[in-house]
Structure 1
Amino acid sequence: MASTPEYFQDKLSGNHCFGCGTENDHGLHIKSYWMAENKAACHFVPQSFHTAAPTHFLNGGVIATIIDCHCICTAIAYAYQQQGREIGKGTPLWYATGALSLRYKRPVNINSRILLEATVSGYNEKQAKVDCLLKVDDTVCVEATVEAIAVSEEWMKQNT
């Protein structure tokens, strides 16, 4: 029997993000895990209300959200890895989106099981570059790059 992967999001406390936050009851609740040292996977199954105008396709904004969140969580997990720490242990490490670039190559059917593959292609303590492919049945539907910027715990708690 295969073991359940350790999901990055389950180890992060205080995450209320709509896409990846375990503490948001109305969110998408994506789950990311390591495939290799710098490569993470995420599976996502859209719900019928995640549609675009044509009801048989997934909304592009939902696509952008799951890619963005998967890449940011991958950057966070990688930063912990580079410090030799388990995700969520010690002083929290957080990243936010500095830039998001997407290339929609083909529509995604609403009934698809989606695989996101994110690879950290650049990293220093202040930022990470993460490249991502959204695949359906081994076909690339979206190519993306996220520039993740390190942010402080104080930034995470600001009200303004």
Structure 2
Amino acid sequence: MTKIVNPYAEMPGYHCFGCSPKNDHGLQMTFTKEGDEVVSVWQPRRFLQGFHQMLHGGIQATLMDEIGSWLVQVTLKTAGVTSGLNIRYLKTVYVNQGEITLRAKLKGMRRNLADVDVSLTNSEGVLCATGEVTYYTFSQEVARQKLNFPSEEAFYESQKKE
């Protein structure tokens, strides 16, 4: 398991709802790389509920969209924007029953469209939702110029020994 660093965190004006550690109203997701998957372990908060104690479905969709985007960035080494999102809600996710785990894996590429499969499991490992997310990916040059996409190394802590 390798920790993924958020290279955007110190960028002035950066307040991504999904992953900015400085957005007090955001999800503040963090990520690791495990083999060919990107993983996020996340603690639901009560103010994100829909019905009593139930995590809002729109928040679940946002979690899936965000982790899929990070998979595109670290696996394909470029950035993309969401082109499509299809979710199957299978079981209720509660805000008061511990951390949830999201896993994203590249399903395939169709020209510049990346298809990503995402799963969401509760603290007991029960599959609660699945998602299929499609991202329109940009060339690295366009990603750098328009989306502030950094170098590949920026996503990982330095392995150099002092």
TM-score, length-scaled by structure 1 = 0.76
Asked if the contact 1:58–1:110 (Cα under 8 Å) also holds between the matched residues in 2, the reply is yes
- The correspondence of residues 62-77 of structure 1 with structure 2, limited to 5 A, is 62-77=59-74
Take 2:119 and 2:80, find their aligned partners in 1: how far apart are those partners? 20
Mapped to 2, the partners of 1:125 and 1:11 lie a distance apart of 27
User: Which residue identity does 2:109 align to in structure 1?
Assistant: Y
Asked whether the equivalents of residues 79 and 125 of structure 1 are also in contact (C-alpha less than 8 Å), the reply is no
CA contact (8 A) 1:44 1:114 kept: yes
1:123 offset after TM fit, Å?
2.9
Distance (whole Å) between structure 1 residues aligned to residue 128 and residue 74 of structure 2: 25
Confirm or deny that 1:17 pairs with 2:13. no
Question: What do you get for the CA RMSD once the two structures are aligned?
Answer: 2.2
Distance 1:127 1:18 in 2: 24
1:113 corresponds to which of 99, 103, 108: 99
Question: Contact between 1:101 and 1:145, CA under 8 Å: does it hold in 2?
Answer: yes
CA displacement, residues 91-145 of structure 1 (integer Å, 9 cap, x when unaligned): xx32110000000011101123100011111136722111011001111000101
- On the 8 A contact 2:105/2:116 being kept in 1, the answer is yes
How far residue 155 of structure 1 moved from its aligned partner, in angstroms, is 4.4
Are the equivalent residues in 2 in contact too, given 1:120–1:131 (CA < 8 A)?
yes
Q: After TM superposition, give the deviation of residue 156 of structure 1 in Å.
A: 3.6
Counterpart in the other structure of 1:46: 44
Q: Which moved more, 1:116-125 or 1:56-65?
A: 116-125
Name which of structure 1's ranges 114-123 and 11-20 shifts more when overlaid on structure 2.
11-20
Structure 2, unaligned runs of 5 or more: 149-162
Verify: 1:59 aligned to 2:70, yes or no: no
Q: Which runs of 5+ in 1 are unaligned?
A: 81-92
Cα displacement string for residues 11-40 of structure 1 (whole angstroms, at most 9, x for unaligned residues)? 24655321123464532111121111x211
- Among all aligned residue pairs of Structure 1 and Structure 2, give the percentage whose two residues are the same amino acid: 24
Taking the aligned partners of 1:130 and 1:24, their CA distance within structure 2 comes to: 26
TM-score normalized by structure 2?
0.76
| Contact 2:38–2:70 under 8 Å retained in 1 | no
